[in-house]
Structure 1
Amino acid sequence: MGLLDPIPPPYDPLEWATRPLPDKSRMVCRSWALQGYGTPVAVYFVYLLKVGLYVGGWIFFCGFSPGLGDPAAIGQWWLDPLAFQKAIVWSLLFEVLGLGCGSGPLTGRYFPPIGGFLHFLMPGTTKLPLLRGLPLVGGPKRGAIDVALYAVLLISLVRALVAPQLDASLLLPLVVLVPLCGLLDKTVFLAARAEHYWVMIVVFAFASPWLAGAKAVQAALWFWAGVSKLNHHFPAVVCVMTSNSPVTRFAWLRRLVYRSYPDDLRPSTLATVMAHLGTLLELAVPIVLLLGDGGTVTTVGLVLMVMLHGFILSTVPMGVPIEWNVVVLYGGFFLFGAHAEVSLAGLASTPLLAAFVALFAVVLPLVGNLAPHRLSFLLSMRYYAGNWPYSVWLFRGDSYKKLERLRKSSKWLYDQLDVFYERKVSVGLVGKVIAFRLMHLAGRALCRLVPRAVDDPNKYEWVDGELVAGLALGWNFGDGHLHDEQLIGALQAQCGFEPGELRCILVESQPLHRQTMMWRIHDAATGELDRGEIGVAELRQLQPWSFDDAADNRGNATIG
């Protein structure tokens, strides 16, 4: 097996594709448990190289400022405030270009490995405007104004990065342009990881000193990520990540995180304990660091931080937020290590800015945890929890070919993979995405919902909404709200699916205070067919392949 060859599944993928859905799901989930996605070894080196280019880009742009940028003397300047500011601005540029989260094969993006600017600079591509119906900019297709505004954002970011100092004249355009691009297409705002980088830039622009505000934002990232795991979803995430990690390629170890491989793939006691310890660690990091004053407590907090992000990075999670984890680690050392003496109370000197930071660091995450259907999981800071909104798109026959009517930056999934592999290998890789979804606790709702959506699943092509968003929007990163009814409507207007040709199952996150998850079933041509809720307790009893008895659970919904 070559460096570019994925680990072959223990079955013939072409024969697997002809099996009934319960058999297919059982086979692919058992394969994931021991093999993960089957990522080729060379792919990990590519991601490692990309991290090196990311860090190298930061060093390069720091070099435009006196006293910064010399790689040989990095130990003398890496904790300089301007170096940190440039790291944030560079990270925003890196992400909004599509080079960071949501890039490469671990997000179903094979050729080209990025979307981002390839899509956002192309007139006629699909977008998701917040101001729907507004003349010139409120339609489902990107126009000249959208492209021009995005290009101005890129130019403004580069202009700030090559400047010797960052002042209001360089930061204020970014403060305005990022949300303005988001109004025209919310995909761009989310791709920029604005809940982190843009909020930080606002703090840089309107606070002097700005360290207290930056600390509040970074502490919120950790805290709410920990809060989001106070549920039953995270143990399944531990299973999925352990089975896919390049550093845990031992079958005996991967079996330990399941109750009884291969018959019971629910999380074992070990996986559950690991999940609880991980949650405790994520909640402890901001608390300990905020209590530290530069002494032993700060050192303990920094060690905990390295443990947390070291584990995440070692698993190379699907969605690959690798650079984001790197800059969060750097921010921890700069904000809480080098400036441990700075208190959040410093925000009191700028009441308006304090209110702004509180909105993004407290209010929106709280709303997003209590009413997740109203807010992106990124703005809610619910990272790595497994409790995300998602969708599955079911295309009848070859109706997926109608997507070719779209103007987009990448081809259909198998056409991308055919550049590298024979179709047998391509089917095996794309099939693993089904396992990724079903192995998570929330994904097991599909065992009940797929039979409600279609009479015969074997007549439909199962495509995860994440992959559809990647094709149609140029970016995807775990946010099911990017591929909900708004995208369905935008694609229906351009593709013209007939009734029954495209059925979409949309599942919402579990609210923090409830033990149910809302779901909807939508036909692209005729609209909503059914909606309801499913209990998390029921999902915990299901295996990822429990479709066999699901036909008896369809209820009274009328499916045309």
Structure 2
Amino acid sequence: MSRGTRSGSIAAVALLRPLAPPYDPLDWAKRPFPERARMVCEAWALQGSGAPLAVYVLHAVKLALYAGAWVLFCSTSPSLGGLSTIGDWWLHPLAFQKAILWSMLFEGLGFGCGFGPLSGRYAPPVGGALYFLRPGTTKLALFARAPLLGGTRRTPLDVALYFALLALLVRALLAPALGASHLVPIAALVPVLAVADRTIFLALRAEHYWTTVVVFAATADWIGGAKAVQLALWLWAGVSKLNHHFPTVVCVMTSNSPFARFAWLRRRMYVRYPDDLRPSRLAIAMSHAGTALELGVPIVLACSTGETAIAVGIAMALALHAFITSNVPMGAPIEWNLMVVYGVFALFWAHPGAYPFDVGPPRLGALLAIMLVAVPLLGNIAPGRISFLLAMRYYAGNWPYSVWLFRGDSYRKLDRLVKAAPWIYDQLDRFYDHATSVGLVGKVLAFRLMHLQGRALPVLLPKAIEGPLHEYEYLDGELVGGLALGWNFGDGHLHRDGLLRAIQDQCGFAPGELRCIFVESQPLGGAKMAYQIHDAASGLLDAGELDVRELRGRQPWAGP
């Protein structure tokens, strides 16, 4: 082997090699929970997830392909053009419409949010279409007993409906111009898919893209309605951070940022590393600044028509989304952030005189009032009833979540499911030795514990299991959702009791083999988080509430 070939091989291995934790992962996995939790949280504080550099390269390439495909679709319209003339047409209304449609298709295929290793998906790195086009895979119908569209397993009709949406989106993207014949079928079909499988509805990022497509379909003068959708995204995201959860998000994101690999900075995110990993004053101040910025953007842009004021609002939006994107957050909502930034220019800069709430037909106004006001408000006040995505509670740290505990090798019963991805360690063992795989998956425990809501686990785990933790395969519900449903993006409602029942029907776990902890978000203005503990075979074992004020005083690994 030549020196150049050998150097290239070494570089490739280095690119794929994750950052090793400062302990032996196989020894760590046998330790009692408090020890295990403290070790992995200390490691996260300085290392983050430890994802290999190849992960970030992959996302950079994917982002370029996402933008390049949009340019290609725009080139099919004579009123727009190609890459060489992009400066002339990139803010054209038709270009914005195609960006929305392409983003919906991109997300619906599984290439956007929830893609790849940052979502616990390795081989294959995509779910989405691999599940949604496959009969027999698990689904979560809105009404499980409904005729035709109900049930817990995908039927040929479900597959046909999803495929029809993909075809309609491609047809619209290739069209020289867009009219009702392109937009109305898409607007009408997405709610049908929501009834058949709410996983697909959420994967489409329908609270943003479908609502905007409805605006396109309902009126020719759609700029004001599209502005209203975008303003709601920022407003409710800011409202959702009016709690004590968001400072821990800042800590976790900064510790994981590929562009802030400074040990001194990461230590400063915490009160006193390694003994006190609660958010420091700096982290709290950054969280308050971020919340003010997220609330300030929609206020400034909604009230501005002058060029200078709009430029200030745009600068604020750029600062907000640049910070989010540069941290490459878990779940990888990177293309979505790019689309939101593009919307700032295409809607507010290109159309400063369009009033954001001039939405046209009364029926459209009523729908937008429901989607942009009523649903997010209910989702903040009563989070157990509404997905955090529909409530627009983006990256606030106050998510519903679950933990699945498989006794012994009972997790192998998941092989009875029709799915495109194997058990998480089987995925990773294709690339790494088992110790490295355990080290990578173990960081998911730290991600959960380091957030304020995760401090409930030292209290709830002893209630859920019988015997030491090392006798169980501990798996975050996000990873279970990715395996069983083909999509996961922080919504614990997808992997709570409904999914547990669907999996139990297919896998038949014996009593004690599978225990699940389901933790709900803290309501806006409330002080407690509800929880439930279930056995797959026996049903509900325990339920109650935890006081968030008490959790704030704990370390991530500490019980009462």
TM-score, normalization by structure 2: 0.97
Size of the aligned set, in residue pairs, is 547
Question: What CA RMSD, in Å, does the superposition of the two structures yield over aligned residues?
Answer: 0.9
Residue 203 of structure 2 is aligned to residue 169 of structure 1: no
3-state DSSP class of the match of 2:121? coil
Q: What residue in structure 1 maps to residue 307 of structure 2?
A: 295
CA distance in 2, matches of 1:495, 1:521: 19
CA-CA distance at 1:501 after TM superposition? 0.7
Q: Equivalences for 1:313-462 in 2 at 5 Å?
A: 313-347=325-359, 349-456=360-467, 457-462=469-474
CA distance in 2, matches of 1:69, 1:34: 47
CA distance in 1, matches of 2:295, 2:355: 19
Residue 144 of structure 2 is aligned to residue 132 of structure 1: yes
3-state DSSP class of the match of 2:490? coil
The one-letter code matched in structure 1 to 2:177 is Q
Q: Equivalences for 1:101-112 in 2 at 5 Å?
A: 101-112=113-124
Residue 223 of structure 2 is aligned to residue 211 of structure 1: yes
Residue 476 of structure 2 is aligned to residue 464 of structure 1: yes
The one-letter code matched in structure 1 to 2:426 is D
Residue 152 of structure 2 is aligned to residue 144 of structure 1: no
The one-letter code matched in structure 2 to 1:385 is A
3-state DSSP class of the match of 2:16? coil
CA-CA distance at 1:215 after TM superposition? 0.4
Q: What residue in structure 1 maps to residue 10 of structure 2?
A: none
CA distance in 2, matches of 1:179, 1:188: 10
3-state DSSP class of the match of 2:236? helix
CA distance in 1, matches of 2:512, 2:553: 31
CA distance in 1, matches of 2:381, 2:236: 12
From 135, 156, 161, give the equivalent of 2:168: 156
Deviations 1:47-87 (Å, cap 9, x if unpaired)?
00000000011001001101323111111100000000000
CA distance in 1, matches of 2:148, 2:291: 46
Q: Equivalences for 1:233-252 in 2 at 5 Å?
A: 233-252=245-264
The one-letter code matched in structure 1 to 2:459 is R
Aligned partners of 2:141 and 2:195 also within 8 Å: yes
The one-letter code matched in structure 2 to 1:4 is L
Deviations 1:350-386 (Å, cap 9, x if unpaired)?
1111111111111100000000000000000000100
| Stretch of structure 1 that moved more, 68-77 or 298-307 | 68-77
CA-CA distance at 1:179 after TM superposition? 1.1
Deviations 1:321-361 (Å, cap 9, x if unpaired)?
000000000001111111111113422x4111111111111
Deviations 1:107-152 (Å, cap 9, x if unpaired)?
0000100000001001110000012112343111101100111111
Residue 175 of structure 2 is aligned to residue 178 of structure 1: no
* Runs of 4+, deviation exceeding 2 Å: 134-137, 455-458
Same amino acid, percent of matched pairs: 63
Aligned partners of 2:47 and 2:256 also within 8 Å: yes
From 519, 530, 539, give the equivalent of 1:527: 539
| Stretch of structure 1 that moved more, 1-10 or 214-223 | 1-10
CA-CA distance at 1:170 after TM superposition? 0.6
Residue 89 of structure 2 is aligned to residue 77 of structure 1: yes
Deviations 1:466-503 (Å, cap 9, x if unpaired)?
00000000000000000011000000000000111111
3-state DSSP class of the match of 2:254? helix
CA distance in 2, matches of 1:355, 1:85: 22
Gaps in structure 1 of 5+ consecutive residues: 551-560
3-state DSSP class of the match of 2:358? helix
Q: What residue in structure 2 maps to residue 222 of structure 1?
A: 234
The one-letter code matched in structure 1 to 2:423 is W
From 493, 501, 512, give the equivalent of 1:481: 493
Aligned partners of 2:456 and 2:546 also within 8 Å: yes
CA distance in 2, matches of 1:44, 1:67: 36
CA-CA distance at 1:395 after TM superposition? 0.7
Residue 511 of structure 2 is aligned to residue 495 of structure 1: no
CA distance in 2, matches of 1:231, 1:167: 44
The one-letter code matched in structure 2 to 1:512 is L
CA distance in 1, matches of 2:203, 2:143: 18
Deviations 1:492-525 (Å, cap 9, x if unpaired)?
0000001111110000000002111111111110
Q: Equivalences for 1:89-108 in 2 at 5 Å?
A: 89-108=101-120
CA distance in 2, matches of 1:258, 1:21: 22
TM-score, normalization by structure 1: 0.97
CA distance in 2, matches of 1:323, 1:159: 22
CA distance in 2, matches of 1:345, 1:359: 14
Q: What residue in structure 1 maps to residue 517 of structure 2?
A: 505
CA distance in 2, matches of 1:20, 1:313: 36
3-state DSSP class of the match of 1:209? coil
Aligned partners of 1:294 and 1:337 also within 8 Å: no
3-state DSSP class of the match of 1:2? helix
3-state DSSP class of the match of 2:532? strand
CA distance in 2, matches of 1:203, 1:137: 26
Q: What residue in structure 2 maps to residue 558 of structure 1?
A: none
Q: What residue in structure 1 maps to residue 65 of structure 2?
A: 53
Residue 71 of structure 2 is aligned to residue 63 of structure 1: no
CA distance in 2, matches of 1:114, 1:141: 20
Q: What residue in structure 2 maps to residue 264 of structure 1?
A: 276
CA distance in 1, matches of 2:14, 2:274: 28
Gaps in structure 2 of 5+ consecutive residues: 1-12
Q: What residue in structure 2 maps to residue 553 of structure 1?
A: none
CA-CA distance at 1:290 after TM superposition? 1.3
Q: Equivalences for 1:520-559 in 2 at 5 Å?
A: 520-547=532-559
CA distance in 1, matches of 2:522, 2:432: 38
The one-letter code matched in structure 1 to 2:440 is L
The one-letter code matched in structure 1 to 2:173 is L
The one-letter code matched in structure 2 to 1:211 is I
CA distance in 1, matches of 2:216, 2:189: 15
CA distance in 1, matches of 2:272, 2:310: 41
Aligned partners of 1:103 and 1:109 also within 8 Å: yes
3-state DSSP class of the match of 1:296? helix
CA distance in 2, matches of 1:56, 1:530: 51
The one-letter code matched in structure 2 to 1:24 is R
Q: Equivalences for 1:19-34 in 2 at 5 Å?
A: 19-34=31-46
3-state DSSP class of the match of 2:62? helix
3-state DSSP class of the match of 1:378? coil
The one-letter code matched in structure 2 to 1:427 is V
Deviations 1:246-303 (Å, cap 9, x if unpaired)?
0110111100000000000000000000000000000000111112214211111110
Residue 285 of structure 2 is aligned to residue 285 of structure 1: no
Aligned partners of 2:228 and 2:357 also within 8 Å: no
3-state DSSP class of the match of 1:383? coil
Aligned partners of 1:13 and 1:428 also within 8 Å: yes
| Stretch of structure 1 that moved more, 398-407 or 290-299 | 290-299
CA distance in 2, matches of 1:345, 1:367: 21
The one-letter code matched in structure 1 to 2:408 is G
Q: What residue in structure 2 maps to residue 557 of structure 1?
A: none
The one-letter code matched in structure 2 to 1:224 is W
CA-CA distance at 1:407 after TM superposition? 0.6
CA distance in 1, matches of 2:270, 2:179: 53
